[in-house]
Chains A and B, each alone.
Chain A
Amino acid sequence: MFSSRFNVGKYRGVLISVALFILLDASVLMLNFFISFQIADDAVGVNLAGRQRMLSQRIAKSLYALEGEYRMGGRFNPDTLQELTSSATLFEDTLKAFIAGGVAQGASGERVMLQAVTDVNATAALVKANQRWDDYKKSIFTLARTELGNDRGQEHLVVALKNARSHNLPILTLMNDFTVALENIATSKANRLRWIQTVGISLAIINFLFILFHFIRQLRESDAVLDAAKNETTEILNTVNEGLFLVSQDLSIGSQYSKALENIIGVKNLQGKSLLDVLAGLVSDKEAKTTTEFVALLFNPKVKEKLIGDLNPLDEVEVILRHDSGLPETRHLSFSFSRAMAGKIISHVLVSVTDISEKVMLERELNESRESTSKQVEMLSGLLHVNPILLQDFIASAYVFYGRINNVFKVSSKSNGAMQSKLDDAFVEVHNFKGNAMSLKLESFTDRATAFEDDIARLKAKADLSGDDFLSLTVYLDEMISYTQQIETLVDKMALYGAARKAPAANLEQWKPLYTLVDSVASNQGKSVELVCSGLSELGGLPDDFIRGLKTALIQLLRNSVAHGVEPSSERLGRKKAKVGRVDVRAASIAGGSIEIVVQDDGAGINYGVLRQKALASKRWSADEVEGWSRAQLASLIFYRDVSTADTLSQDAGRGVGMPAVLKWVNSLQGKIKVSSRPGLYTRFIISLPQPAAERLAA
């Protein structure tokens, strides 16, 4: 750590330059100080040298003053003598200090230390001055020691004046030279100082410029490298399909993240946002909290990253995003977290987010497809026995029934009566649909239709119907449509649909389900019944709608005949009839353009007594009225809704809606239906229908 902290590396050059810069500045500063002190000393010297000139003149002046005073008064003035002495002493001390170095009195009377003068010119001037001063000073000091008024004083004065005349001017000149020499020394030092400062500062500036340019170049290079690195990072972040971002320990999202991230998680401007806040809008609070705890674990260096990988709470998570249209959109995201290291320190956690919606959807579709295949195989087992062409026909008719039932629901109705009527209408449709299903032995459809009928019956018993009571029926209808669609898909898959398109159902083939139906109803009722059909196969060329309606009507009539008409075998044997009952269906085109359909059974005939009781029980008519009815009037009751001759309700009969539906169909074609019956012998329905227009034209 220590070595890395002091590893100057690429900054070595800059550091040396900076050190040099500081060294240069310090050197210049020190020299400046040193020379400045010297110059200050020299200034003192120059000043004192200048004072020597002044002192030499003052000494001469004092001597002349003493001469004047003596002439005037015959005695020396003590003050003048004192001034002479002090001037000469000061001159003497200063001169010695200049020559040999020592202490001298400064300009302000302070003690000043003078170095011995070494300069050649100055020394020469000093030596010469000292030689002259030597004689001169003796005469002065001799005079100074003379007592006032002493006659010898005059002699000493004469000698001193004589010396003054011969030495004063030369000493003045020499002191002047000496001063100039000292000044030259000081000037020379000042010049040197200036030169040193100029060179030093120049070098420092050069050094500074070097540092500056060196730095700028390095910064530029670093910036270029950083820019290149940043561009590469940005390019990567703009290109990857994953959402990538870094999270710091305080859970804030880093400044750089991949472009795809905002789209994937549907949140903009993530920089600096808290991961917790971002997750709070995406996943449940519990998941968000667990995730932040998981991230905290990743920042703990004591925890092994590999060991906690399984704890990732967002490995596969469903999130709800707001679509541009404002609608919520479900997506599946996978978050992965890994440590980002700076050396040995966990600096960040790198989070990568992948949109795995497609994968999840594919998995779901695969599972659904598996389930669907399994269901289809199950369905297939219930369909295999059915002629594919008839199955196709059944599916087509099923959608027609569903459409009719839905149209019944669709009619606006608010009153209870209107809603009851809707239930009746829907019941008729479902009942007919059930007959079709039974004729093909499609038990799954039959069961569904029966359950639908039961539900309608349940609602019919309700006193005060409201619209939402129908909700269960609509849901049931939806379920039946979906189921039929699945069957249709299966049929398509089996290429049955294509086969059906290519080969229309043979006339004979399409009536076969009637036999199946009779067998099925007879079996349910514990009876033995034989169906004998004639003329049906000659009805070819009639419109599909007509055939479909006829088939539905025949199913209803046959179901009625087997359930209500034909007796059980034991009963038949008792009446000396054949053990096996018989139902005849005859179809014929009648000259004059009509079709006649006869359905006749050799059963017990219509029980008029039961019908009379049903009529009375219905309370629609008075007892007197009902008592007066003929057999024909009583027989017509079977076309009334809710009137059934069956004693109990069964899957095959007893709902009281089948015959009204037949009548409705006959009426819709402007046909007629006639019923005749003889108790214990037969019941016969004769339906006369005008031949459809297209057929008549063709004929």
Chain B
Amino acid sequence: MMSEQTLRVFIDGVVRYFDHIDNSAVTVGTPYLVENDKPAAFDVTGIIGVTGPYRGCVYFTAPRILVKHLLLQMGERDTCAEHVFDLVGEIANTVSGNARSEFGPAFNISVPIVLEGAPDSIYLPSSLRSYVVPIYWKTYNAAVVICLSH
């Protein structure tokens, strides 16, 4: 079972990233649950695998247009697919770094893996549920999805 504090660390990671890029507030929506056989995802997804005290994965998923907007906001004019993927990976990496600094080295986190669409059964055990935390930035919706078992 996930603890509220653990979930908050991952949410804070993403919020911090957006705050760092753009001070115009990013809003966190109300978290809800999804069964892993119907994972929630937008166009691009950056996954980090987690082992140690908690096992599973955490991913940041967003529509392509949000990521492109974010790139432009950062001063990057080229919003090609490669840059979109890199940025999503970077966000996942920031989340991972934030988690590592909170939980210490025992919380082992993988390098980010970027996918199009939703992660499949390689990453999400079908018997578990995931927490979906919607993230609202400007007019876009994205989400942090956390699927960890203790």
Binding site for B on A (CB under 8 A): 284, 320, 322-323, 325-330, 406-407, 409-414, 419, 422, 466-468, 470-472, 474-475, 477-479, 481-482
How many angstroms between the C-alpha atoms of A422 and B31 in the bound complex?
A: 12
Q: B12 → chain A, closest Cβ, in Å? A: 9
Q: At the interface, yes or no: B103 with Cβ under 8 Å from chain A?
A: no
Q: Which residue of B lies closest to A423 (CB)?
A: B30
Say whether A468 contacts B33, CB under 8 Å: no
Q: At the interface, yes or no: B126 with Cβ under 8 Å from chain A?
A: no
Q: Which residue of A lies closest to B122 (CB)?
A: A325
Q: A422 → chain B, closest Cβ, in Å? A: 6
Q: B117 → chain A, closest Cβ, in Å? A: 16
**B interface, size bucket:** 35 or more
Which residues of the partner chain A approach B57 to less than 8 Å between Cβ atoms?
A: 327
CB contacts under 8 Å to A, within B39-97, are 47, 49-52, 55, 57
Given contacts A320-B108, A412-B141, 15 further A-B contacts (CB under 8 A): A325-B122, A326-B113, A407-B32, A411-B30, A412-B134, A414-B29, A422-B30, A466-B27, A467-B29, A467-B30, A470-B30, A474-B32, A478-B129, A481-B129, A482-B1
Say whether B51 contacts A320, CB under 8 Å: yes
How many angstroms between the C-alpha atoms of A481 and B108 in the bound complex?
A: 28
Chain B contact residues, majority secondary structure: strand
Binding site for A on B (CB under 8 A): 1-4, 7-8, 11, 27-33, 47, 49-52, 55, 57, 105, 108-111, 113, 122-123, 129, 131-134, 136, 141
Say whether B33 contacts A406, CB under 8 Å: yes
Say whether B32 contacts A328, CB under 8 Å: no
How many angstroms between the C-alpha atoms of A599 and B129 in the bound complex?
A: 41
Which residues of the partner chain A approach B113 to less than 8 Å between Cβ atoms?
A: 325-327
Q: A467-B134, A478-B2 in contact; A409/B108 too (CB < 8 A)? A: no
How many angstroms between the C-alpha atoms of A122 and B49 in the bound complex?
A: 111
Q: A24 → chain B, closest Cβ, in Å? A: 73
Say whether B1 contacts A409, CB under 8 Å: no
Q: B122 → chain A, closest Cβ, in Å? A: 6
Q: Which residue of A lies closest to B112 (CB)?
A: A326
Q: B2 → chain A, closest Cβ, in Å? A: 6
How many angstroms between the C-alpha atoms of A467 and B137 in the bound complex?
A: 13
Which residues of the partner chain B approach A467 to less than 8 Å between Cβ atoms?
A: 27-31, 133-134
Which residues of the partner chain A approach B11 to less than 8 Å between Cβ atoms?
A: 468, 471
How many angstroms between the C-alpha atoms of A683 and B108 in the bound complex?
A: 63
Q: A474-B131, A475-B4 in contact; A468/B32 too (CB < 8 A)? A: no
**Which of B7, B31, B123, B129 gathers the greatest number of chain A CB atoms within 10 Å?**
B31
Say whether B31 contacts A326, CB under 8 Å: no
Q: Which residue of B lies closest to A325 (CB)?
A: B122
Contact of A413 among B29, B105, B111, B122 (CB under 8 A): B29
Contact of A328 among B1, B110, B134 (CB under 8 A): B110
Which residues of the partner chain A approach B31 to less than 8 Å between Cβ atoms?
A: 409, 467-468, 470-471, 474
Which residues of the partner chain B approach A330 to less than 8 Å between Cβ atoms?
A: 51-52, 55, 108
Q: A327 → chain B, closest Cβ, in Å? A: 3
Q: A38 → chain B, closest Cβ, in Å? A: 90
Which residues of the partner chain A approach B4 to less than 8 Å between Cβ atoms?
A: 471-472, 475
Which residues of the partner chain A approach B50 to less than 8 Å between Cβ atoms?
A: 328
Q: B103 → chain A, closest Cβ, in Å? A: 14
How many angstroms between the C-alpha atoms of A326 and B11 in the bound complex?
A: 23
Q: Which residue of A lies closest to B49 (CB)?
A: A327
Sampled A-B contacts (18; CB under 8 Å):
A284-B105, A323-B49, A325-B123, A327-B47, A327-B113, A328-B51, A406-B33, A409-B33, A410-B32, A410-B132, A414-B136, A422-B30, A467-B27, A468-B8, A474-B31, A474-B32, A474-B131, A478-B129
Which residues of the partner chain B approach A477 to less than 8 Å between Cβ atoms?
A: 33
Which residues of the partner chain B approach A323 to less than 8 Å between Cβ atoms?
A: 49
How many angstroms between the C-alpha atoms of A471 and B15 in the bound complex?
A: 15
Which residues of the partner chain B approach A326 to less than 8 Å between Cβ atoms?
A: 49, 110-111, 113
Contact of A329 among B3, B47, B51, B129 (CB under 8 A): B51
How many angstroms between the C-alpha atoms of A466 and B136 in the bound complex?
A: 12
Q: A325-B122, A328-B50 in contact; A474/B33 too (CB < 8 A)? A: yes
**Which of A284, A320, A407, A411 gathers the greatest number of chain B CB atoms within 10 Å?**
A320
Q: A398 → chain B, closest Cβ, in Å? A: 14
Q: Which residue of B lies closest to A477 (CB)?
A: B33
Contact of B2 among A284, A328, A329, A475 (CB under 8 A): A475
How many angstroms between the C-alpha atoms of A290 and B35 in the bound complex?
A: 44
Q: A415 → chain B, closest Cβ, in Å? A: 10
Which residues of the partner chain B approach A322 to less than 8 Å between Cβ atoms?
A: 110
Q: B120 → chain A, closest Cβ, in Å? A: 10
Which residues of the partner chain B approach A482 to less than 8 Å between Cβ atoms?
A: 1
Q: A1 → chain B, closest Cβ, in Å? A: 51
Pairs A-B, 7 closest by C-beta atoms: A327-B49, A467-B28, A409-B32, A470-B30, A474-B31, A410-B32, A467-B29
Which residues of the partner chain A approach B47 to less than 8 Å between Cβ atoms?
A: 327
Which residues of the partner chain B approach A409 to less than 8 Å between Cβ atoms?
A: 30-33
Q: B100 → chain A, closest Cβ, in Å? A: 12
Q: A510 → chain B, closest Cβ, in Å? A: 29
How many angstroms between the C-alpha atoms of A471 and B141 in the bound complex?
A: 18
